A and B are shown apart, each in its own frame.
Chain A
Amino acid sequence: MSQLSPYTKVRGGRKAAVGNVGRPSVAWALPGIVFFALFAIVPLAIAVYLSFCHWDGLNSPTPVGTDNWTRLFKDPEFRQAAWLSLLLTTVSWAFQTPVALLLGVWAAGRQRSRTFLSAVFFIPLLLSTTAIAMLFHALLDPNFGVIKQIGPWFGIDPNIMGSSTGALLTVAFVGGWQFMPFHTLIYQGGARQIPEVLYQAAAIDGAGMLRQFFHITLPQLRNTITTSSVLMIVGSLTYFDTVLIMTKGGPGTDTTILPYLMYRTGFQTYDLGYAAAIATALVIVATGLSLILVRFSGFGSMRSTREGM
């Protein structure tokens, strides 16, 4: 504990040094602010406004008060879509995080083959979602796809996309396949930041691989896990293209997640006011979830993991 006071002093000193250099003027942020306002804040405000209107996209929007919102809370289809979105998000998170974490930690090593393999892992992220969805769609075709041949070996019914659970799991899997490399990269970066000395000290104390992983790597990656999880959750909540191409919300409505319901309501039914309400609800849920995650993980206070050493 005695190190605590010198440590705080150092920190204060660092701050002073930053002050001396002088912070960049606000003007530098201006282009960013302008674009953000123009392409994020303004459309969001319009969407919120539209959620209080009836609009068919042809005539002018007519304000209808809270009609769309009362309908939203009573709509069984919305409730189902919200539940499916949460389910998809949970499944995606639970499936992607451990794999990405382990791959990332492994890829943080320094052997030459790992650099090469990390590059290979990264390829799915470079492909467009549309291409990936079409590829998997073809692979999973129950009559002519690979699944027809190899599915039975593993006791899998080739009609995966035609079953409710199968379709949702497929959507989660395809999304995971595409975005896992990205999260692997984040974890790889995070793991590389962990000081070697911690492992050396642990090795001297006789800690094995597993203990090192659970007592050094995992705690040190705490903020990385939060970052990756927030991105993953927001990503899964706004998941759309894969559903559009692979399942079209079906079978029945079993993969009609919120963004797809919004698309269907807005651009197929042309009920743009109600679609705006769904979109706004989605923004609220996504923002809420990220805030909760950031708060409970202690990420909000921006404590650096490195300072703990």
Chain B
Amino acid sequence: MVMAGLLAGCGSDSGSGGGGGGTLTAYVYGDDAVKIQEAAVKEFNKTSDVKVKLVPVPGTDYVNKLRSAMGSPSAPDIFYNWGGGSIKPYVDAEQVVDLTSTIKNDPTLKDGFLPSIVEAGSLDGKMYGVPMRGMQPVMLFYNKTLFAQNKLRPPRTWEDMQKAITVFKGKGITPFALGGSDKWPELMWMEYLLDRIGGPEVFRKIQGGDSSGWGDPAVLKSARTVKELVDGGAFGKNFNSVDYGNGGAPTLLNKGKAAMHLMGSWEYSTQLGKAPAFARKDLGWTAFPTVAGGVGDPADVVGNPTNYWSVNTRTKHKDAAIAFLKTMAAKSYSKALVDNGDIPTTSDAASTLDSSPNPQFAHDQYSMVQKAPSFTLSWDQALESQIATPLLTEISKLFAGKSTPEQFVAAMKAVK
């Protein structure tokens, strides 16, 4: 707090320099989609006195770089984030502008985005971010040819899934590709299992800071289900040394060595890049199946609702920053996202989806999210890093058979 106060006194470095009205620095996750933000910035700067300067930070460094920048005098005025726990430390340090009243009083922002998306990014009922990229629900991808050859249908229930596991194992095909070496793909399994078994409220309690939520019977049951899947060979034998990052798991799917892959919607563009013919012809997608005895709604979704722009409290040009955020609701912006293969979270996005590289995939994804009663933010983004990091470690131990479901629960309850 003290440091934040001192720094606020010094003002933001980035405010100086630039002509006329000054400059706003905006940090953004530096991947392919940056070109869309670049175009938006260019458009905005044409009419604004205060110019926005976009700083793309290469993906893997983004979180660390933002963290160190926010603790220094040269913090960005606007920054990209995942909402939830990813901004909690900054909120606690009073470094993020509360946009609740701004959003509620502004028709463009208020009605511009899907309500579940805006809500998913909020924290303790307050909104700190404006959606600015595509949605990334986690879906169950599958190899259509393998399913047709074995006369199976994409699993909707747990029985379907058990059957598919048995059939594929019998054929020497790994039922599910899993990049266990990266840990976060394993987390996706826990997220969906807990949602289907106990409903979204269980995790909401944990996200709210109540670590006793880990003691909910649904968490234990999810962990036990994971163990059953692992022991039953659902992920094959060597998933611990398979990566997502270097393409190990996606290649298993497109080479027909694995039948299914639980992954974020970006799996589609990953496959399109690695194996275009497979992505166009054989790649199918469906929702995560129901789990026997579970109380969760099978229409619920987990993943990354979207990314958000938040504003630093130390900025000298708050009004200009908010004016820039409003351009995220513009039709031209969501069109640019669609053309890039992303599904915007704006409420009128449905009408633009036909120009997507794969309209079918775009429409399915959009309606999946639009109809979802709940969209749970990926746990490692929803929780603060001091819980998220041990969580990933404990999940990895559970999958690797280094701890029991009971030990997993006990370890998570003890994390503070």
Q: Is A141 an interface residue (CB 8 A)?
A: yes
Q: How far apart are the CA atoms of A270 and B386 in the complex, in Å? A: 7
Tell me the interface secondary structure of chain A in the complex.
loop
A248 interface neighbour in B3, B93, B95, B183, Cβ under 8 Å:
B183
Asked whether, in the complex, the Cβ of B240 is within 8 Å of the Cβ of A162, the reply is yes
A-B contact pairs, 17 of them (CB 8 A): A59-B1, A59-B3, A141-B241, A159-B238, A160-B241, A250-B396, A251-B240, A252-B393, A252-B396, A252-B397, A253-B396, A253-B397, A268-B385, A268-B389, A269-B390, A270-B386, A271-B386
Write the residues of chain B forming the contact surface with A, with a CB cutoff of 8 angstroms.
1-4, 64, 67-68, 70-71, 89-90, 93, 95, 180-183, 237-243, 246, 248, 251-252, 257, 385-386, 389-390, 393, 396-397, 400, 402-403
A252 interface neighbour in B242, B246, B403, Cβ under 8 Å:
B403
Residues of B within 8 A of A269 (CB): 385-386, 389-390
Q: Which of A140, A247, A256, A268 has the most C-beta atoms of chain B within 10 angstroms of its own C-beta?
A: A268
Question: Are A143 and B400 also in contact (CB < 8 A) when A57-B68, A60-B2 are?
Answer: no
Question: Are A142 and B241 also in contact (CB < 8 A) when A58-B67, A59-B4 are?
Answer: yes
The 9 closest A-B pairs by CB, nearest first: A162-B240, A252-B402, A161-B241, A159-B238, A142-B238, A162-B241, A252-B397, A251-B400, A252-B400
Q: How far apart are the CA atoms of A138 and B241 in the complex, in Å? A: 11
Q: How far apart are the CA atoms of A267 and B61 in the complex, in Å? A: 11
Which residues 255-307 in A have Cβ within 8 Å of B in the complex? 256, 264, 267-271
Question: Are A250 and B240 also in contact (CB < 8 A) when A57-B67, A60-B3, A143-B257 are?
Answer: yes
Q: How far apart are the CA atoms of A57 and B238 in the complex, in Å? A: 37
Q: Closest residue to B386 on the A side, CB-wise?
A: A269
Q: How far apart are the CA atoms of A184 and B292 in the complex, in Å? A: 61
A144 interface neighbour in B89, B93, B237, B248, Cβ under 8 Å:
B248
Asked whether, in the complex, the Cβ of A270 is within 8 Å of the Cβ of B89, the reply is yes
Per-position binary interface string of chain A over residues 135-160, scored 1 when its CB falls under 8 Å from any chain B CB and 0 otherwise: 00110111110000000000000111
Q: How far apart are the CA atoms of A177 and B151 in the complex, in Å? A: 49
Question: Are A159 and B237 also in contact (CB < 8 A) when A268-B389, A271-B386 are?
Answer: yes
Q: Closest residue to A249 on the B side, CB-wise?
A: B393
Asked whether, in the complex, the Cβ of A250 is within 8 Å of the Cβ of B183, the reply is yes
Tell me the interface secondary structure of chain B in the complex.
helix
Instruction: Report the interface size class on chain A.
Output: 35 or more
Q: How far apart are the CA atoms of A162 and B2 in the complex, in Å? A: 46
Asked whether, in the complex, the Cβ of B251 is within 8 Å of the Cβ of A144, the reply is yes
Residues of B within 8 A of A142 (CB): 238, 241-242
Residues of A within 8 A of B403 (CB): 252
Residues of A within 8 A of B243 (CB): 137
Which residues 21-39 in A have Cβ within 8 Å of B in the complex? none
Which residues 195-239 in A have Cβ within 8 Å of B in the complex? none
Q: How far apart are the CA atoms of A164 and B89 in the complex, in Å? A: 35
Q: Is A67 an interface residue (CB 8 A)?
A: no
Q: How far apart are the CA atoms of A158 and B71 in the complex, in Å? A: 45
Residues of A within 8 A of B251 (CB): 143-144
Asked whether, in the complex, the Cβ of A251 is within 8 Å of the Cβ of B402, the reply is yes
Residues of B within 8 A of A137 (CB): 243, 246
A253 interface neighbour in B67, B89, B393, Cβ under 8 Å:
B393
Q: Is A241 an interface residue (CB 8 A)?
A: no
* B304 nearest CB across to chain A (Å): 18
Residues of B within 8 A of A141 (CB): 241-242, 248
Residues of B within 8 A of A270 (CB): 67, 89, 385-386
